[in-house]
Amino acid sequence: MDYRKVTAIIRRDVLEKVERKLQEMGVQGISVTKVKGYGEYVDFYSRDWMVNHARIEIFTHEINADAIAQAIMEAAHMGLKGDGIVAVLPVEKLYRIRTRALAESDEI
């Protein structure tokens, strides 16, 4: 199985720009979740220091993972603390719920 999971945590105000970039690239599917937390940037004015961000998750073939990560960084970059992170992780198994079958490497 040659899949990767690309996970990005980005500023919410650049989410639409990132989504457009991924659609232009032909990315087949993405999941977007609104999240909050802190890392490099902390909101000291908030009681819990948390900052609102968006998390994007994409399962893709390994040959596309780096291009997707680069595209996310290009579209989300503002040059400020809190721009976010991108992680590329190996996927051990990926199942299709509809068919209950292990996804083939050419399906995604």
Domain regions of the chain by residue span: 3-102
Task: Give the three-state DSSP class for 81.
Answer: coil
Per CATH, the number for 3-102 is: 3.30.70.120
In whole numbers, what is the pLDDT of the chain averaged over residues?
A: 92
Give the pLDDT band of residue 105 (cuts 50, 70, 90). low
Q: pLDDT tens for residues 65-79?
A: 999 999 999 999 999
Helical residues (DSSP H) of 53-102, grouped into ranges:
62-76
* Residue for token pair 């068919």: 99
Record the pTM: 0.89
